Amino acid sequence: MHGIANLSVRELRGVGPKLAAKLADYGVHRVEDLLFHLPLRYQDRTRITPIAAARDGGDVVIEGEVRAADIVFGRRRSLVARIQDGSGTLTLRFFHFSAAQKNNLTPGTRLRCFGQVRRGSSGLEMYHPEYRQVLAEDTPVAETLTPIYPTTEGIGQNQWRNLCGQALRHLEREPVSELLPPSAAHPYALGRALQFLHAPPPDASLELLREGRHPAQLRLALEELVAHNLSLHRLRERQQRGGAPALAPKPELLDAFTDSLPFAPTQAQSRVLGEIATDLAKPRPMMRLVQGDVGSGKTLVAAGAALQAIGNGFQVAIMAPTEILAEQHWRTFSQWFEPLGITMEWLSGRSKGNKRASALARMASGAASLVVGTHALFQDDVTFARLGLVIVDEQHRFGVHQRLSLTQKTAPELGRAHQLVMTATPIPRTLSMVAYADLDCSVIDELPPGRTAVTTVLIDSSRRQAVVDRVAAACSEGRQAYWVCTLIEESDALQAQAAEATAAELRLALPQLAIGLIHGRLKPAEKESVMAAFKRGELALLVATTVIEVGVDVPNASLMIVENPERLGLAQLHQLRGRVGRGAQASHCVLLYQTPLSANGRQRLAVLRESSDGFYIAERDLELRGPGEVLGTRQTGLMAFRIAELPTHDHLLDEVQSISDSIRESFPELAEPLIQRWTGTGQQFAKV
């Protein structure tokens, strides 16, 4: 029963030490690993197409006789062969070739070729087709669709096909273990699904396979999602094993804090504060994700959680992905906590020398109750005396293991720190079921009073002057505006140049306005002073890169222009738009796009015009761009599935949840083999 699972790839024909090492680097050690190395797509090589019926851009098999073959010296030296099949003539062109190859293409030789047909200067052509000599009229064509496998350097498609073919022959003799519980009966048995996907019959629907909707794919996607869900639950169990300090609620501290605020918490904030207080009072680590749309007041909830930990004599670490966001938290918490006599400390990558040393000493001795910082908090020399709570903002910018490593920076006898993860990027329910199965979720689904809806309009960049006039009119009435420059390049230097050029152009066009500029290359003190001047109303217009997307709060700013919005994700655009509409006056967001806009781009931007509900926008973003984009690049490793795809397989997630629960409760022995089969060594972070 377990033979195929333990059979080494070294047992297969043609696998020597060198190839075995390459396969091992790729995560393929056993014959069963090959069965689960699934094709990316398929080619139909089961029919021979007459040359006259070949269409430009189509992948086809043709068969014909070589009429002539010559080396042609054009811009690049190439080997050109003309072949005929009775219905027409086609040119084969090779830019990389050997003398032996030329000598084998003698007139009269019969070839079978597979490749993409293109219309060239001399009629139909194929560049670098796969071809072989046909010695007899009845040489059979492929009997199944031809799989194209994901690969790595040094392993070709023919090698993968040969190895997976051998693995399938083993499968015929010895079944692969079914690891889903009996209740998860599926019309496709596992072995049959694997057989089908490595070698689909000629009549298989290429369309269903392309879309990931074939029943054989659904059978495997279901199992892969279950394995993924189990691995995240295991991660949660490991996290909770060591226990955590039980932090009793501190209502008097919380009341003193909320009484000092100029507003009362909303019902949604109070509900989430209650859920957190209950978690913190337990002797096992809280693992809670708080989602809230732009401006819903997550920071206030974080403050309530921090007070409960500090009131019990523990330290709190707040970590944000960027200096600007960390600085915003520093300012907010200083304003709230200093009057309560709470000691604070700051740590970022730019903290150097004596300043850094004294910050580290205050944290290690317990003199600082609240520490705010960036990635710098992960560094090995950072220790805490009594870390009780870790608050991570914009979690999707960090890897799972980074978030978890921070919870270990406390004295071992205290267990692990509790963790509160916050995001203003609403994550569709389907995605959070997959990406955050190790966390309990709370949603702040109510905006504080006083927030106004933002009207969003799409304007073609050819009407740029009209937009500049609109900015002038708004600012002349005493309102403030943002002008956001976006660039495809991730480089800070290029982003800064684009923003500088835009600021210079707007200063020429609007000499009467005070215009500020902010981008990622400015020193923190410079950013700070520009933002402070904008906040005080000394600047009418702020030209910025997307660094302002999160956390910046200027109630008088009521107009935002976003250039090239088609380059950003919907979630990010929704974040940016949330910088306006924070005061009482009507607010507007202008998306200044470049034409031509693709159909997908137009559809995406229309979503923003229709809705200001972050969760709806995130759902649509997921449909239009896929999970890696919605979660942000740092998290995409989590989404590197072999066959499961979101949102294509969303409909399986409720079933995944119930199968996963059933395995954990009634069939725990299935969990480890399932996780091994699908994630193997790919889930290193689960060891944190």
**pLDDT tens-place string over residues 280-336:** 999 999 989 898 876 678 899 999 999 999 999 999 999 988 777 788 899 889 999
Is 515 part of a structural domain of the chain?
A: yes
Strands 110-120 and 130-133 turn out to be antiparallel
Is residue 407 domain-shared with residue 508, that is, in the same domain?
Answer: no
The whole-number pLDDT of residue 635 equals 39
The whole-number pLDDT of residue 241 equals 84
**Terminal Cα distance for the chain, rounded:** 33
- pLDDT exceeds cutoff 90 at 124: yes
The whole-number pLDDT of residue 309 equals 97
Q: Running DSSP on this structure, what letter comes out for residue 145? A: P
* Mean pLDDT computed over 413-439: 80
The whole-number pLDDT of residue 398 equals 65
Distance (Å, whole) CA 518 – CA 530:
7
Distance (Å, whole) CA 416 – CA 283:
10
Please, are residues 607 and 625 in contact by the beta-carbon 8 Å criterion?
no
With cut-offs at 50, 70 and 90, classify the pLDDT of residue 687.
very low
Is residue 349 domain-shared with residue 395, that is, in the same domain?
Answer: yes
Q: Token pair for residue 570?
A: 């919907």
Is 137 part of a structural domain of the chain?
A: no
Coil, helix or strand for 387?
strand
Percent of the chain with pLDDT over 90: 52
The whole-number pLDDT of residue 490 equals 56
Please, are residues 582 and 553 in contact by the beta-carbon 8 Å criterion?
yes
Considering only the C-alpha atoms of the chain, give the largest distance between any 2 of them, rounded to a whole number of Å: 95
* Mean pLDDT computed over 94-117: 93
Please, are residues 592 and 561 in contact by the beta-carbon 8 Å criterion?
yes
More confident residue, 548 or 208: 208
Which of 12-16, 103-107, 389-393, 595-599 comes out lowest in average pLDDT?
A: 595-599
- pLDDT, tens digit, 9 for 90 and up, residues 543-590: 998 776 555 678 899 999 999 898 888 878 888 888 888 777 889 999
Give, for 319, the enclosing helix (H) or strand (E): strand 315-319
Is 192 part of a structural domain of the chain?
A: no
- pLDDT exceeds cutoff 80 at 601: yes
Please, are residues 121 and 72 in contact by the beta-carbon 8 Å criterion?
no
With cut-offs at 50, 70 and 90, classify the pLDDT of residue 495.
confident
Q: Which residues face 455 on adjacent strands?
A: 588
More confident residue, 321 or 18: 18
The whole-number pLDDT of residue 673 equals 92
Please, are residues 613 and 293 in contact by the beta-carbon 8 Å criterion?
yes
With cut-offs at 50, 70 and 90, classify the pLDDT of residue 686.
very low
Is 403 part of a structural domain of the chain?
A: yes
Distance (Å, whole) CA 203 – CA 234:
42
| Total domains, the chain | 3
The whole-number pLDDT of residue 628 equals 53
* Mean pLDDT computed over 601-628: 80
**Which residue, among 442, 453, 418, 395, has the nearest Cα to 269 in the 3D structure?**
442
The whole-number pLDDT of residue 400 equals 63
Residue 296 belongs to domain with CATH number: 3.40.50.300
The whole-number pLDDT of residue 638 equals 45
Place of tokens 């040359």: 51
**Which residue, among 233, 181, 225, has the nearest Cα to 656 in the 3D structure?**
225
- pLDDT exceeds cutoff 90 at 275: yes
Distance (Å, whole) CA 315 – CA 237:
24
With cut-offs at 50, 70 and 90, classify the pLDDT of residue 684.
very low
Average pLDDT, the chain: 87
Which of 79, 103, 126 delimits the end of a domain?
Answer: 126
More confident residue, 61 or 138: 61
Q: Which residues face 389 on adjacent strands?
A: 316, 418
Is residue 514 domain-shared with residue 468, that is, in the same domain?
Answer: yes
Is residue 358 domain-shared with residue 396, that is, in the same domain?
Answer: yes
* Mean pLDDT computed over 454-465: 92
With cut-offs at 50, 70 and 90, classify the pLDDT of residue 2.
very low
Place of tokens 């005493």: 478
Percent of the chain with pLDDT over 70: 92
Asked if omega into 627 is within 30° of 0 (cis), the reply is no
- Sign for the CA dihedral angle at 603, 605, 609, 611 comes to positive
* Mean pLDDT computed over 69-97: 93
Is residue 380 domain-shared with residue 522, that is, in the same domain?
Answer: no
The whole-number pLDDT of residue 401 equals 64
Is residue 404 domain-shared with residue 461, that is, in the same domain?
Answer: no
Which of 444, 462, 481 delimits the end of a domain?
Answer: 444
**Which residue, among 316, 318, 336, 338, has the nearest Cα to 326 in the 3D structure?**
318
CA atoms within 13 A on the CB side of 618: 23
- pLDDT exceeds cutoff 60 at 636: no
The whole-number pLDDT of residue 685 equals 34
The whole-number pLDDT of residue 1 equals 39
With cut-offs at 50, 70 and 90, classify the pLDDT of residue 452.
confident
Cβ partners under 8 Å of residue 111, min gap 6: 63, 64, 65, 66, 83, 92, 105, 131, 132, 133, 134
More confident residue, 398 or 460: 460
Q: Running DSSP on this structure, what letter comes out for residue 652? A: G
Is 681 part of a structural domain of the chain?
A: no
- CB neighbours of residue 47 within 10 Å: 10
Give, for 658, the enclosing helix (H) or strand (E): helix 653-666
Place of tokens 């050029």: 501
- pLDDT exceeds cutoff 80 at 406: no
Distance (Å, whole) CA 296 – CA 450:
11
Is residue 440 domain-shared with residue 458, that is, in the same domain?
Answer: no
Please, are residues 275 and 418 in contact by the beta-carbon 8 Å criterion?
no
Q: Token pair for residue 285?
A: 């680590």
Percent helix, strand, coil in the chain, to 5, is 45, 20, 35
* Mean pLDDT computed over 534-541: 93
- Residue 350 phi/psi, 5-degree rounding, is -90, -5
Is residue 424 domain-shared with residue 481, that is, in the same domain?
Answer: no
Please, are residues 372 and 399 in contact by the beta-carbon 8 Å criterion?
no
* Mean pLDDT computed over 154-158: 89
- pLDDT exceeds cutoff 50 at 512: yes
In terms of residues, how long is the chain? Answer: 688
Is residue 255 domain-shared with residue 286, that is, in the same domain?
Answer: yes
* Mean pLDDT computed over 370-378: 90
Which of 594, 611, 628 delimits the end of a domain?
Answer: 611
H helix count then E strand count, the chain: 24, 21
Distances (CA, A) of 240 to 46, 312, 499, 519, 592: 55, 20, 46, 41, 48
Expressed as residue numbers, the domain containing 594 is 454-611
* Mean pLDDT computed over 423-432: 73
Is residue 318 domain-shared with residue 439, that is, in the same domain?
Answer: yes
Is 18 part of a structural domain of the chain?
A: no
More confident residue, 448 or 36: 36
Is 324 part of a structural domain of the chain?
A: yes
Is 687 part of a structural domain of the chain?
A: no
Please, are residues 59 and 43 in contact by the beta-carbon 8 Å criterion?
yes
Is residue 556 domain-shared with residue 487, that is, in the same domain?
Answer: yes
Buried b (16+ CB within 10 A) or exposed e, 216-250: bbbbbbbbbbbbbbbbbbbbbeebbeeebbebebb
Sheet containing strand 541-544, strands side by side: 454-460, 587-593, 557-563, 480-484, 541-544, 515-518
Distance (Å, whole) CA 578 – CA 290:
18
- pLDDT exceeds cutoff 90 at 342: yes
More confident residue, 154 or 507: 507
**Which residue, among 404, 446, 427, 442, has the nearest Cα to 289 in the 3D structure?**
442
Asked if omega into 596 is within 30° of 0 (cis), the reply is yes
Distances (CA, A) of 147 to 196, 224, 654: 11, 20, 31
Cβ partners under 8 Å of residue 649, min gap 6: 212, 218, 221, 222, 225
Q: What is the dihedral of CA 472, 473, 479, 484, to 10 degrees?
A: -40
* Mean pLDDT computed over 104-125: 92
The whole-number pLDDT of residue 351 equals 84
Is residue 267 domain-shared with residue 384, that is, in the same domain?
Answer: yes
